[in-house]
Every structure is written in structure tokens, then in C-alpha cells.
């Protein structure tokens, strides 16, 4: 049974979604980026994880603004929204499986840690020499942007090896609720 206003949608459909530009929508609908935070909150409620909402949103807030420097399919809010909506759809289809809320949260956190944006590296520097690297657990993206100095470039990349240290520390923060 579906609860809440958001229908289960496959991740591929979310990536292809474009808000209707004509009146009365004027670019707004239930799946636009501006509403992603509300969808995340609603899906956490549907998944029995309402008590984790503040923790997840505080962690996601550390990445706020980064989406402008990533590919569209790596946008933190949209990726987490798609993952949680898929979890709601999967829960509906396997409603006979009983999983404890803590086990379900661990599974969700594990899935979030595999998203590309978690493994992205960014630094300020000149040419190939980095002066400062971003640590999302130490400062928000917007705080990091303020660290740039005249003549420096902002470099953002996704290495083949990912960012396992950040994923480990982020998972620990999400599981314990402490930053």
C-alpha cells in the first residue's frame, strides 16, 4: 500500500523528469528540485525513519550548492530522493519482509554511501597543485567555496578509487546522528 503523495517512480524516470513549463505549473511540480527536500522528508516518514530526518538533512546540507559543480545525475538532493523513493517502492512490493528500523537505516546509509557525490573530491589551488581540499565533515560546501583565493581554480573530480574515508566517516555520522 502506498502512503503519502509521492508515487513510486523508478530512478531512470526521475532522471528523465522535466517539470511542465506551461501555466499553471510554470516549472514547478512534485518532482522538481526545489521540492526534493520535502520528498526526502515524506519518504523517510513512509519508511518508518522519521526520527532520522534531521540527521540526514543536516548531513545533506553539507553538500548544498555542490550540485552546480556536478553532473545533473550526481545532484546530492536528487540522488538521495531517488534512492529513498526507490526504497519506498521496494518496500511496497515486498511488504511481507520484516526488517528492524535500525537494520533498514543501515541498509539505506550503505546505499547512500555508494552515490557518486559522496566520493567526489574538490580542491582550491593553482594548476595541478592543491592548496586546500574540501572535507564535507569539517565544513559545508559553501564554507569551502569561501576559502578560494584570487588566481586559484576550483577543481572537482571523481577518482576511480572514490573517497572511502569520507564515506566511512559520513556513514558513522548518519548511523550515530553525531557530526
The predicted-structure confidence for 63-100, as pLDDT tens digits, reads as follows 999 999 999 899 999 999 999 999 999 887 766 567 89
**Domain count within the chain:** 1
Q: Are 152 and 125 in contact (CB under 8 A)?
A: yes
pLDDT reported for residue 3:
35
pLDDT reported for residue 95:
60
pLDDT reported for residue 30:
67
In a domain, 150, yes or no: yes
In a domain, 5, yes or no: no
- Rounded Cα–Cα distance for residues 59 and 142 (Å): 14
pLDDT reported for residue 18:
65
- Rounded Cα–Cα distance for residues 67 and 46 (Å): 26
140: left (phi over 0), alpha (psi -120 to 50) or beta: beta
Grid cell listed for 73: 545525475
Encode pLDDT of 145-156 as tens digits: 999 999 999 999
In a domain, 6, yes or no: no
In a domain, 3, yes or no: no
Which regions in the chain score pLDDT beneath 50?
1-15
Amino acid at each position: 500500500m502506498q502512503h503519502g503523495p509521492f508515487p513510486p517512480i523508478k530512478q531512470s524516470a526521475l532522471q528523465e523528469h522535466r517539470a511542465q513549463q506551461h501555466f499553471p505549473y510554470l516549472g514547478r511540480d512534485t518532482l522538481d528540485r526545489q521540492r526534493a527536500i520535502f520528498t526526502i522528508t515524506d519518504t523517510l516518514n513512509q519508511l518508518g525513519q522519521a526520527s532520522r530526518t534531521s540527521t540526514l538533512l543536516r548531513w545533506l546540507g553539507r553538500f548544498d550548492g555542490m550540485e552546480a559543480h556536478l553532473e545533473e545525475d550526481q545532484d546530492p538532493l536528487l540522488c538521495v530522493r531517488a534512492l529513498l523513493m526507490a526504497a519506498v517502492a521496494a518496500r511496497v512490493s515486498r511488504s511481507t519482509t520484516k526488517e528492524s528500523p535500525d537494520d533498514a537505516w543501515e541498509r539505506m546509509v550503505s546505499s547512500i554511501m555508494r552515490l557518486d557525490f559522496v566520493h567526489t573530491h574538490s580542491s582550491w589551488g593553482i594548476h595541478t597543485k592543491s592548496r586546500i581540499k574540501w572535507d564535507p565533515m569539517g565544513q559545508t560546501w559553501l564554507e569551502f567555496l569561501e576559502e578560494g583565493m584570487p588566481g586559484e581554480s576550483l577543481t572537482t573530480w571523481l577518482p576511480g578509487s572514490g573517497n572511502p574515508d569520507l564515506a566511512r566517516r559520513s556513514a558513522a555520522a548518519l548511523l550515530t546522528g553525531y557530526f
